Structure 1
Amino acid sequence: MGDDITLKFRQKLLLIDDNLGTEDVAALKFLCLDLIPFKKLESAQSALDIFQLLMAEEYLNEEDTFLLAELLFRIKCHFLLQKLNYTKERVQEYLPEKGRVSPYRQMLYELAENITSEMLKEIIFLLRDYLPKRQPIVSALELLILLEKQGLLTASNVKMLEKICTSVSPDLLETINSYKREKVSLPQQENTLPIKESAWPGSTKVFSSPQETSIKSVSSKINDDKAGNVIQGISEVNLNLELPAESINAKNESKKLTSYKMDGPKRGFCLVINNVKFDGDLGERRGSCKDAEELERVFTWLGLEVKIYKDRTSKEIKDLMETWQDSKKQINRDCFICCILSHGDSGAIYGKDGELISIRTIMSYFTAKQCPALAEKPKLFFIQACQGKKIQCPVSVEADAQVPELPSVQQRISPSDSIPEEADFLLGMATIDGYASFRHVDQGTWYIQALCSKLQLLVPRGEDILSILTEVNEDVSRRADSLGRKKQMPQPAYTLRKKFIFPVPRDPPPSQQY
C-alpha cells in the first residue's frame, strides 16, 4: 500500500515536470535558494532534480506537498495545483501559517518579474565593474544571483538594489520598500524562529530563515567570538531599514507620475476584430457591425488609428497579433488597444473557423519581451464574447455563446488568469467567467455600447479607465432583456501600474456631432 502511494506521488511529480518550461525551472531554483545549498541547486537541470533535492532535505513528501504547492503558486502555475489537490485560494489561505519562501526571496522574484529586457541591459551596464567579464547574463534572476554571490545583495542590505532601481525605473522601488516595511513590522513571536547559515559558498553573512529571523534570535545564537560581527550586522540592519534619501525622493517623484504618459507624437493603434459569420454551426452575430462602427468612431475621436478586420480564423487572428507586435509599428506610440467581437467560451474566443484561441495567447504577443516598443506602456484589450454556454433568450436578444452541441473548454479560466504575468495590461470582459453576454440584433451588444457611451461621457471629465469601466459595470448591470429576466455583469482585470487617462479631445464626442 505504501509503495503504491509513493508511486502515485512520484507520478504526480512527473506530470508537473512535464508542464514546466525552462523559465519555470529557473524560477523554482531561485525561490529555493534559502532552502537548499546553492552548490546542489546549481547542478539541477530540471524540475525533477529540484523535487529530488527538496525530498532529500525533507521539505517534500507524499504526506506534505505544501511547499511545492507554494512554489507553483508563486511562479503563477496555478493550473498545476490541482495535481496536488490544492486550489489557488486554498494555498493563499495557508501561506501565512505554512509558507516557507522568505519575504526577501519573494521580493527579489517579484522584482525580477517586473524588470524588462531593456531595463536589464541598463542595469548590467551600470554594474559592469561588479560583474564577471565573460559571463553572459540573460535574465534578471541570474543577475540577482550574481549580486548575492558577491555579497552586494543580502536580506539585510538592499542598498545596491535601491540605487540601480532608482537609476533605471523608480517604479521598481515600491517592491523593495514594501519588503522593508514588512521587515520593520515583523511580529514579536518571530524572534524564536531558528536560523540558517547562508547558502552561498564562502559567505560570512548570516542569512535568516525563510520566515526572516529577527535580530534577537541572531544575537542569541552566535558565538561570543563573532559578537563584533553581530553588532555590526545589527547596525547594518537598522541602517538599511530606514528609507534612504534618494529612495524617498524617488518615491515622492513617482507619486507625481501617477498617470501613464499620453503626450507622445502618436496616440497608438486600436485593432477591432469583428467576427460576424462563422463556418459550421456557430450562428451569425447580427448587430456586431454596429459595435465595430461605434468603436471606430469613439477611438478615432480619442486619437487612435483604428484598423478593422472582419471574419478572421483563429490562425489569422494569431497572424494579426504577430504583425502588430512588430516594434517598428509601435514605436513612439503611447498605448495599444485591441477589441475583439466574437463568440466565445471560458478564457477564449472563436475564430470564424470555429477554432478556439485563448485570450491569454492573444495578449501575450504584446508583453515587454515580445514587443519591446510597448514596454511599460498600457495595453488594453476589450473582449465582447460569451464566457459560458448559450442561454435561451427572447428573439430580440441573442447570446454571444457557442451552440450547445459544441464541446466547451474543460478548465475555466478567470480574467485575471488570462492576463500575461507582466505589468501594464488591462482586460475588459463583457461578462464574468461561465456566463453569456448579450447582443441586440439591431443595436449591438450591451457591453460595447455602454463602453462607447461612457468613454464619450467621462473622458472629457478627466476620468481614468478603471473609473470608466466601473460605470460600464453599473450601466450593463441595470440592463435586461425585453422580459426583464436576463442580466449581465462585465468584469475588468488588470496589471496596470498607473492611472490610464485619455487626453481630452478637442472635438466634441461623436454622439454630439450629429
Structure 2
Amino acid sequence: MALQDQHEIQAINQIAESLDSGERRVIFYLCESFDTDNSVTCMKDMLKHKVTSHDTSDLFLTELMWQLRRYDILRKVFQTSREEVARILKYRHVLSRFRVLMANISEDMVNEDMNRAKFLLSSTLAREKLEKAKSFLDLIIELEKLDVVSPERVDFLEECLRNIDRIDLAKKVTAYKLQVGISEQHLPQTQRGRSPRPFSAPNGTYPPQPARRALSCHSESLPVPIRREQSRQSQQELYKFNTNPRGVCVIIDCVGNDGDMLEQTFKALHFNVILHKWLSVEETLSAFREIVRQREVLERADGFVCCIISRGTESHLLGTDLYNRGLGLDNVRRLFTAEACPMLAGKPKLFFIQRYTHPRVSALCQDVPSG
C-alpha cells in the first residue's frame, strides 16, 4: 500500500471517529449519499470510495471539514488552518455548491423554523417523513427524492423560506440562482413549469393568496400586506395585518392529529390560538358560538383562522359522534359572515379543513341549526 493511501485512510479514520451522528449526516449529504446508515463504519467506507474518485483527495477532505467548521480536525489531521483552507477555496471547490448551500441553510434553521416548514410541507411530504425529520436537511433530502428540489430547481425552496419568514435564507437561494445562471429557459423542456405549487393546506385545499402572506411573522412595526382582488377592474387592496396578536386562530381537533403542531405553528405566527380537542358535533357548535360572543377579542384581531380536523362527509363534520348527526360546513361558514359576526367584517377569514371521509354515514348526517 502506498504511503499516500495510508495517509488518506488514517485521515478518514480520524475524521469518522471524531464526528457525531449529526455531523456524519451532513457529510453523507455533501458527498451526495442518501444512505440511511450514517454509522462510523459506513462513513469510513463511503469516504474511502469518494477519495478514489477525486484527484485532489486532500482538498476534498479538508473542504468537508471546513464546511462543518471542524477547524480542530483541520489542524490535527491535515496540519492546516481555517484561513489557509479559506484562501484555497476562493479559487477552487470540490463540493457541490448546491449541497453546500442546503447544508448551510439547514444549520441556520431553528426549531421554530422547522415547525413552520413541516406545517407548510404537510401536503407535499408524507406524515411519517415529517415526523422522522430531525433537521431541515432531512426535509431537503425528501424533497430531492421527489424531484421537487434539485440543483436546477430551487424556486420551491426559495418560496418556502419566504413563507416561514426566513428572508435572509431565501436571499441566499436567490444569490445561488444568479451565480449558477438558473432560469426556466435553461431547464429541459420536460422540467419547465413542473414545480408543484408549494404549501397547500392539508388535503390539498389551497388557501387563497391572502393566506400565504398572513402566515408570515414580521416585526410589529411593519404591517403585513395581504392582497385581494375584487374584480379585474378594481384596484389592488391591502388588508391591515399588524396587530399583536395578529388575529384569532381556532383549532378543532376531533381526531387527535396535528392539533398540537398547528397550535405551535400559529402561536409562532403571533396568533391568539384557541385549541379544542375531541369535541362532539354539539360541543363543536358551542365552541364556535362562544368564539363569536368574544366581541372585543375579534374586534382587535386583524384576521381569523379556523382549522378543523374531523371525520365527516363532503358536506358535514361528525366530530367524535359515531352516527346520526353532522354539522354542515356551510353552517360553520355562516357563523362568521359579516351579518352574523360583524366584528370580522372586511377582515380575512381562512378556513382549513382536514376531513377523514366516511361515505357510509353520509345519508345519516343531518344539519345542526346554526342559530
Q: Shorter chain as normaliser: what TM range?
A: 0.3 to 0.5
What TM-score does the superposition give when structure 2 sets the normalisation length?
Answer: 0.46
